[in-house]
Structure 1
Amino acid sequence: MYVAVKGGEQAIARSLELLAEARRGDPAVPELELTQIREQLRLGVARVMQEGSLYDEELAALAIRQAAGDMLEAIFLLRAYRTTLPRFGYTLPLETDGMRVRRRVSGTFKDIPGGQVLGPTADYTQRLLDFDTTPPTATTSAEAPLPAEMPRVLDLLEAEALIEPADADSDPEPLDLTREPLTFPADRATRLQNLARGDEGYLLGLAYSTQRGYAESHPFAGEIRMGEVDVCICPEELGFSIEIGSITVTECQMINQFHGGNGVPPQFTRGYGLSMGEGERKAMSMALVDRALRCDELGETAHAPAQDQEFVLSHSDNVEASGFVQHLKLPHYVDFQAELSLLRTLAKQQAADSGEQPLHAAGGLHA
């Protein structure tokens, strides 16, 4: 047994050496620097920060390089590092009304207060591989400054009582899911926290399902905005809030149909999504799933996977999901031998009952 363990240790050590070699690649090729990853793979960095629950571009870039581009592994690395950090307190809710906008579009109104701001996006490209590596020439035309304030598109509908009011002041204090277990039923604030940490691909699939009829929803992109917002805390020793920095976020507010009922007039309803950095797909998917999960609150019949909060929230965490799937690669010799022995016993019993000659596993496999 000791020899087998030692052999396993040596194999693992060699595996780690091979991993380091594979990660580095050809030594003749210059190694990727963190600045390059942070500046040129900013969307990947944003996703790793979002699902790793740690806003630090340098650490996210380091995790991506260490994981050789495997985003789920990078998210795992960043989240594991996050658990080692001390917690000094909680920030105040972000005031996205005062966002310093870099991109802001609406799919519901063409002319909106403050105008449509296309910003940095691939939405208008042809999705063709670009083999020209020449950096673009800087434009000399002066752009008009953006308005200091950009009223929310949904506020226009709320002013006419055509959409449910945004009752943010009545939201309960959310649980800290990094310290407290998720329980059901979960309130909306807790659900949104869970979705914010959830896997983008998983949420995208659920969001897509709602558009294909697997939920009581017909969405419109009311407003999507991306930019910088201030982060504030209120230290107990001061008694007032102070600004400690700013972060880039993407916010999405979806407009959904609602036929009314229980004394509520027909009106539009809301779905909300917020992601760190530039993450429109994540924010949009989150907003669609958020609206689907409000079915009980709005008196709708839950009949689709995206409306089942226990199913959605319990399977959204890619770190947990990846670990549970990949643990199947680890030794399960004892468990399998137990099932194999049981299956052989049942096969012999069935053969005996039917009078057939049982098949013998000459030289069969053993653990």
Structure 2
Amino acid sequence: MYVAVKGGERAIANAHALLAKEGRGDAELPELSTEQVAGQFGVLVSRVMTEGSLYDPELAARALSQAQGDALEAVTLLRSYRTTLPRFGYSEALDTTGLPPQRRISATFKDLPGGQQLGATFDYTHRLFAEAPTEGPELADHTDGDRVSMPRVSDLLGANALIEPDAHPDQDATEPGDLTREPTVFPMTRAERLQALARGDEGFLLGLAYSSQRGFGSTHPFAGEIRVGEVEVEFDAPELGFPVPLGRIEITECQMVNQFTGSADSPAMFTRGYGLAFGRSERKAMSMSIVDRALRADEFDERIESPVQDEEFVISHSDNVQATGFVEHLKLPHYVDFQAELVLVRRLNREFHERQDHAEPVPSDLVPTVEEVLA
């Protein structure tokens, strides 16, 4: 409790009341509803859901309203609420192979089987291209029986053994690690790293991805494929013995394609970076996939010489809730700590001047002239 300020708890209550008043804005204007936030700020809502590890557009919108648009505060609120929810188990791994995209683009092949699906995007608002990708067929006009086939770019490369195999986890494997319930232990498995990156701060991951692209990480990839669409979530109930559908959620999936020149034991091929996020989160998924590949440096015997390749550095500092708490706790009282350092600095300062006062003067004949120094 921050009771050091004048007024104690009453001052804190007044601060909260003032915050609510200022956050409301002009009372003569209609209040922004949760439905408006969820419907008109979809990209921001997607970020809060992804970093808050909870898919619920309505709750994420409500958190944003309470936080006055502060994304990190909204993420904190959503994570706090998430900890109160009962845990029934884990859903089945999402099958994104046949993900029917609202948006599907690739920067690797112009004439992509199934076509490019531009969808709703800002990509061409502020950019001029000599030749933009052509829009593919509208999937909404097709039924499940005649939906246009859109194979993965990675599968096209894999057919010719030009990309590393896509490792599918064994469905009978042990229960996956859960970073929200278990302490972080280094080194981590790739699955654990992907969990951490999915919850990581978008801005931090974007900066790391940019650093890797500029040479501080030896990763300058191609966007193999980016898909945005809805996918079904299934839960395997033990008492039933088979998975049951829980509903559909919107996700963004990104696969980056990276060159690997080969080694004494491996031929030259392309390698993968993977990113997945809730809702429309292309920037986050792309940044995540670049950082994922950079963190796989040891798998390919690459030198680890940049921050983006250092697993402990990336994972330990990518969580924005932890980072926010550690930075913002500096606003809380640190009177005792500061007084201790103040005493130390004063003593060291006094000792320095005492040494200067008792220092023997340098004889004048040993002090060089300006001409001697210039010579």
Do they fold alike, i.e. is TM over 0.5?
Answer: yes
Match runs of 1:134-213 below 5 Å: 144-145=141-142, 147-169=147-169, 174-213=176-215
Partner of 1:100: 100
Q: What one-letter code is carried by the residue in structure 2 that aligns with 1:43?
A: V
Unpaired runs of 5+ in structure 1? 128-140, 357-367
Distance, in Å, in 2 between the alignment partners of 1:106 and 1:172 is 35
Q: What one-letter code is carried by the residue in structure 1 that aligns with 2:22?
A: A
* Bigger radius of gyration among the two: 2
- SS for the counterpart of 2:292 is helix
- SS for the counterpart of 2:230 is strand
Distance, in Å, in 2 between the alignment partners of 1:5 and 1:186 is 43
Q: Which 4+ residue blocks in structure 1 deviate beyond 4 angstroms?
A: 3-6, 141-144, 170-173
**Percent identity for Structure 1 against Structure 2:** 61
Distance, in Å, in 1 between the alignment partners of 2:60 and 2:5 is 35
Distance, in Å, in 2 between the alignment partners of 1:149 and 1:22 is 52
On the 8 A contact 1:173/1:189 being kept in 2, the answer is no
Deviation at 1:98, TM superposition (A): 2.5
Partner of 1:319: 321
On the 8 A contact 2:139/2:148 being kept in 1, the answer is no
Q: What one-letter code is carried by the residue in structure 2 that aligns with 1:287?
A: S
Partner of 2:260: 258
CA 1:30 to 1:125, structure 2 compared with 1: closer, same or farther past 3 Å?
Answer: same
Unpaired runs of 5+ in structure 2? 128-137, 359-375
On the 8 A contact 2:222/2:256 being kept in 1, the answer is yes
Distance, in Å, in 1 between the alignment partners of 2:7 and 2:154 is 64
Distance, in Å, in 2 between the alignment partners of 1:59 and 1:169 is 32
CA 1:173 to 1:253, structure 2 compared with 1: closer, same or farther past 3 Å?
Answer: farther
Distance, in Å, in 1 between the alignment partners of 2:284 and 2:293 is 14
CA 1:172 to 1:192, structure 2 compared with 1: closer, same or farther past 3 Å?
Answer: farther
Partner of 2:231: 229
Distance, in Å, in 2 between the alignment partners of 1:326 and 1:314 is 17
Provide, for residues 82-121 of structure 1, a one-character-per-residue CA deviation record: whole Å limited to 9, x for no partner: 1111111110100001212100000000111211000111
Deviates more, 1:265-274 or 1:345-354: 345-354
Deviation at 1:187, TM superposition (A): 1.2
Distance, in Å, in 2 between the alignment partners of 1:113 and 1:279 is 24
Distance, in Å, in 2 between the alignment partners of 1:117 and 1:49 is 25
What is the count of residue pairs matched by the alignment? 341
Match runs of 1:339-354 below 5 Å: 339-354=341-356
From 243, 246, 249, the equivalent of 1:244 is 246
Match runs of 1:13-92 below 5 Å: 13-92=13-92
CA 1:115 to 1:296, structure 2 compared with 1: closer, same or farther past 3 Å?
Answer: same
Q: What one-letter code is carried by the residue in structure 2 that aligns with 1:206?
A: L
Matched, 1:337 2:339: yes
Deviation at 1:349, TM superposition (A): 2.5
On the 8 A contact 1:45/1:60 being kept in 2, the answer is yes
Q: TM-score, normalized by length of structure 1? A: 0.89
Distance, in Å, in 2 between the alignment partners of 1:46 and 1:56 is 9
Deviation at 1:29, TM superposition (A): 0.8
Q: What one-letter code is carried by the residue in structure 2 that aligns with 1:52?
A: G
- SS for the counterpart of 1:80 is helix
On the 8 A contact 2:104/2:226 being kept in 1, the answer is yes
On the 8 A contact 1:224/1:252 being kept in 2, the answer is yes
Deviation at 1:217, TM superposition (A): 1.8
- Superposition CA RMSD, Å: 1.9
Partner of 2:301: 299
Q: What one-letter code is carried by the residue in structure 2 that aligns with 1:90?
A: Y
On the 8 A contact 2:4/2:333 being kept in 1, the answer is no
